[in-house]
Amino acid sequence: METKRLNKAISETGYCSRRAADKLIEDGHVKVNGESVGLGVKVTKSDRITVYDQLITKEVSPIYLAFNKPAGITCTTDTKIRDNIISFLNYPERIFPIGRLDKPSEGLIFLTNDGDIVNKILRSKNNHEKEYIVRVDKKIHDSFLKKMSQGVPVLDTITDKCQVERIKEDTFKIILTQGLNRQIRRMCTYLGYEVIHLKRVRIMHIALENLKPGKYRSFTERELQIMQQKIGTSSKTEEASR
């Protein structure tokens, strides 16, 4: 019977990433068939894996969802937090969001049960694009567009160069490969602008298109194939977690 490392088996259930699984194993919270185990243990499909004495062994196919998050929903797996994304979707299997989208913001976010791809997608040095449409509180000048595209001071660093294009006098499109906390809002604030509306319309090759707010869909086979090709050269999960 095929075997796999315990941390991989745990991550494939959607419980957590491999790195988080290693910590759980090291701290003695994981048992296989009722016995405490250490790192490096291999398991089969017939083994019973428990975390905090809760059975998590379950044969679930990989899940990859594109979700149009409405404003007001918080991207957290903590279901005690009001208006959290997990309770809002009420999906029948354990899933978690890939990255985040600010509570006041809306638009595209991925959810999955595949712990292996999370950091590969999020790792900024892998140059995975994220596209946003942003409306601000006043007219956009050429100097604003130039400074945004060249980088501004945010969180003790200078943002990477990016693509910025005016759409309307108070609205612009921006394509980032970084994922700093509230990056676009902080960039605009630094330049004297306030974000009125922010919507993410694309991550990598997957676009929001006609997906309505509050709705989700599975990746198409073609989207998944391209995704696997793109992340195939990305940093490994364990490396990206450091």
Burial 58-91 (b: 16+ CB within 10 A, else e): eeeeebbbbbbbeeebbbbeeeeeeebbbbbbee
Cα 146 to the center of its chain, rounded Å? 28
Annotated active-site residue 102? The verdict is yes
* Region label for 33, one of left (φ > 0), alpha (ψ between -120 and 50) or beta (otherwise): left
User: Are the CB atoms for 84 and 73 separated by under 8 Å?
Assistant: yes
Catalytic option among 47, 83, 102, 170: 102
* Strand-pair category, 195-203 with 106-112: parallel
Catalytically annotated residues: 102
